[in-house]
Structures are given as C-alpha cells and as structure tokens.
Structure 1
C-alpha cells in the first residue's frame, strides 16, 4: 500500500496515533526533506528507513518507489508539513501508483489551508484552493486575472518574503476584497490578521511579516458597491469611503487608516470627517 501520511504543520501534538503506528510499520518512508522528517521521527521514536522524494528527483525516484510497492513493500509518503500531495510532488506519485494498480490510503491530519479557512470568518460553503502562485510574473498575472470573477473564497500559500508583493498583486487583480492572513498556524505565535487586501497591505507595511502565511480572500460578490468603490473611490467623500470599506467587514479604525493612506491624508483628518 501507498500511505499518504499527514504530519504536523507546527504543533507536534497534531500527529495522529494512526500516523505514528503506520510510520513505524511501513518498510520505507518517502520524505520531501529527510533531515526535517528525521527530527519528527526521532520525537516519536520511529526508526523506519527514509528515502528522499521531492520535486527535483521525482522523475527517477518515483518509479523506484513504485517498484518497491510492486514487490510487496508498504511505503508512506510525507511532506515537510501537512498533507502530502498538496503543493508538493506527492500527487505525481499517487498517479503512478494508481496506474500500477497499487492501493492508495490517506491518513488524514493537519492541513494549513483548511485550518486557516475555517478560522477566517469568510464563506466556507464553497472555496477555491490556489496555493502558491507561479514565480513568473506574467504567469502570476494571467492566473490572478482568470480568478478575478471567481465567486468563491480563495486560499493561497505565501512566504514572508513575498507576502507584500502578493497582496499588491491581489489588490490589483481583484480590487478591494475581504481578506485574512493566517501566520504560524498551530505554533506559539499563531495569528490571524483580518480585514481587507488593502488593510493587510497597510499592516505589513508597518509590521515585518514573519512565518509562513495562508491567505484567505473573499470571492467576487454580486454587490455593485464593491465595484463602485474600485471605480469611483476617489469621487466618494471621506465618510462614504470609510463606510464602503467597513461594509466589506473591515474595522472602523483600520478603514480610517487605509483611506488616509490612499488619499495621502492624516488619520486624524479622516477621523474628523467621519465624526462630522
């Protein structure tokens, strides 16, 4: 059998009893980063043999793992964190296994995308998982443009080094949308920054981003107010602009800060206008 074994995304207590048992019993564990996985195995006193399986060796290592399975060995696949097959080459190995008639068994567990989504406060009825954006600027732009009219909540993964740029590009492609940045999920400094794409951009302009991020972004709504805000924002009064932003779920304080930045005014000026 080929086991797809979820591993903790931060907190080691999220490892399941079943995962510990299976990792102890299989013949070999195929790991994205053997050094990282060895620390996890050591914590749970698991001594199973490790082999590397990642994006750069999947073409040669994949068939080798399939050969092991065909000779009767059980193999577990793990990524550095979360579910293998999500934003890593585990999905390629699954396809090879299915083609070879090998049984594929999922071992559910921690997942950053779903953990962030259910805690975001945004619509979870239907959602679109996008993960990491392409590194090529043109491909990123084309992908974001294709999702501009997507009505469902969207889930992105991003590193702390690119989060500012990504928020700028998301704002450019989608306009003003409710958004949540979840960082360091399940870890000591877990944090949810809720607001909009613009207020998140302001937040990270003032606070250095740290840790790995999961971004949750609202889908395109039928509400024409959002489109009017994007098209006619500069024609609105300060009070109207703040109200429009608050209607997307942004707190008043953050809305005032965002409008002040956008109009080149002080926060006090915008605050006084809303009082009037």
Structure 2
C-alpha cells in the first residue's frame, strides 16, 4: 500500500497557479471542512473569511444561512454555492470530489460549528478517503468543546454522544448502556425535549450525578446551569410551569462520568465468604465466587478466610 502524505506542499505550475488565484497551494485540490461560528460572528477565523471568497465551490448545509453569514462577515462568496445537507450528502459527494480532482478547492460549511460532527460532512470525508482525495480542515468554534470547557466537569477524557433518541424507551436504553461510562459525556438536545431527557438521565444515571446544561453558547443570552441532575430537572420544570418558556435555543448537556466503584476491604470480603460457608458452601468455592465478583485475589481471599475461621 502506498501512502501520499496530506501535508505535502504544492509544487510546480499547479502551486504557482494556486498562489496567483489567491488560494494557498496547500488548499488547492482539497476538500476543506471549515468551522463556522456557533453564535457570535466575531469568532469567525480569518481563514474562514478567505476560504469563502476564494474557494471554487462552497457546499453549505443551508445556502441562505451561508449568505447571511457572509453578509455579517462583510465578505462575498466568490465561487459556486451548492446545497449540501443530510439527505443529499451521499449523492453529492462525488460531484464535489470531481472538482477537487480537477485541482479545485471545495469548502464544506454547516449552519454552525465543525462539519462532520453531528452535521453533514462525514460521508464526503469517507468517500474522499476511498478516492484518495486530499481532505483538510479550517478549525474553529465547536459547541461540544465550548460546553465541555464551561461545564466545570472533568475534561481530560470525554465522549460525545450526539442527540439522545426521541422515543422514551430508546432513550432509557441508550442511557442504561452509558450508566457505567467513566468519562464525561456531552449531548445535544432540542428545547422541547430537554425536560424529558434530563428526567431520564436522572432516573438512569442517578439524581446526584453532576451535570451542566449549556444553552445559546457565545450568544447574547448564553447561560450555563450547573448542579446535580435532580436540581437541573427541577429548574427546567419550574421554568416550564404554567406555560413558561422553559429553555430556548441551542442546548448542550454535559454529564459527569460514573464514579469509580468503591473497592470493598479484605475484611468485608472475608465476612462475605464466611457467610456463604455458614450457609453450606465449601470454603474454596465461596472464596472463588467472592473473588471473581469483587476482583480480589482468589488466593489472598482464601488464605484470609481460612485464617479467620
């Protein structure tokens, strides 16, 4: 298998043409995933502004929102604009990659944040990999990372779980599968489902599990609610009481990972072994069963129980 490094600089006439056109040689003949602001237009990078003006094609999740963003940034989209959303991504991927194969630059943008992260882009990247087409990114704002950073929960290890299932049964089963997850978890949720989702989390993860509800991040009415899940459930229910507005806007929920299980002492385990022996079980089998369930050393537990008889 031969590998072509993605960071190889452009050379020859192609590189010169790219520099003349205003597109750096590094981006010519590339599919570029470009992050857009998640709320505050001032967070747009200089590279995003340039890409919007110089790319041959801009594939946008919502073309109207793209032009509105360009207006706020004071730039003009210079290339062809095409729609690129969940239901046409697979069908349109090859069309975009054909432009890249011809030496053009295709920029993918979504309504907010980084393409391919709970947004269109994944299928295009997967197809580009299959075809050997170069893919790069123009990093920028991310709702997942912003919520994680503001949550006050551990950030050294985390997992992004996207949107929870809409149906109550599916939602509960999904949370049950994550109940023992030790890493901090980040979810997206819609305003009209946030109360039900928090209630389900509290029931499965535990009322005391620490969490944070982050809404309208980087926008004027940004708000972060922190506390145990039970308190967050009460807060949202209080806001929705009597027809209140509840929580509005884009919402991220960050939930602390499952606490490490307390390791029982050898003395406690010996007591459990002796109780089983008193009930008629053989010492060797009782020690083996308790050791397997607790993770303790079978030999150490057996010897300690034997000495305690």
TM category, shorter: 0.7 to 0.9
> 1:206 offset after TM fit, Å?
1.1
Structure 1: segments with no counterpart, 5+ residues: 225-276
Q: Of residues 251, 257, 265 in structure 2, which corresponds to 1:213? A: 251
Does the Cα contact within 8 Å between 2:90 and 2:124 map onto a contact in 1? Answer: no
Aligned to 1:182: 214
Aligned to 2:38: 9
Aligned to 2:271: none
Distance 2:231 2:167 in 1: 26
Q: Structure 1 residues 93, 136: closer, same or farther in 2, change over 3 A? A: farther
Q: Secondary structure at the match of 1:161?
A: helix
Q: Secondary structure at the match of 2:191?
A: coil
Q: Of residues 194, 198, 222 in structure 1, which corresponds to 2:226? A: 194
Distance 2:171 2:124 in 1: 26
> 1:200 offset after TM fit, Å?
0.7
Distance 1:46 1:111 in 2: 24
- Which consecutive segments of 4 or more residues in structure 1 shift more than 6 A? none
Distance 1:134 1:97 in 2: 30
Distance 1:56 1:161 in 2: 24
Distance 2:191 2:49 in 1: 31
Aligned to 1:222: 260
Structure 2 residue 64 is matched with structure 1 residue 35: yes
The aligned runs of 1:1-276 (5 Å cut-off) are 1-44=30-73, 45-48=75-78, 49-176=80-207, 177-207=209-239, 208-222=246-260
> 1:149 offset after TM fit, Å?
0.3
Does the Cα contact within 8 Å between 2:214 and 2:224 map onto a contact in 1? Answer: yes
Does the Cα contact within 8 Å between 2:90 and 2:123 map onto a contact in 1? Answer: no
Distance 1:95 1:3 in 2: 13
Count of matched residue positions in the alignment of Structure 1 and Structure 2: 224
- 1:58-81 CA deviation, whole Å, 9 max, x = no partner? 132122112222222210001100
Higher alpha-carbon Rg: 2
Distance 1:43 1:104 in 2: 27
Distance 1:14 1:140 in 2: 34
- 1:99-157 CA deviation, whole Å, 9 max, x = no partner? 11111111110001100111111111101111112334443333211111001110001
Indicate the RMSD between aligned Cα atoms, in angstroms. 1.3
Structure 2: segments with no counterpart, 5+ residues: 1-29, 240-245, 263-309
- 1:19-66 CA deviation, whole Å, 9 max, x = no partner? 111221110111111111110112232223210111111132122112
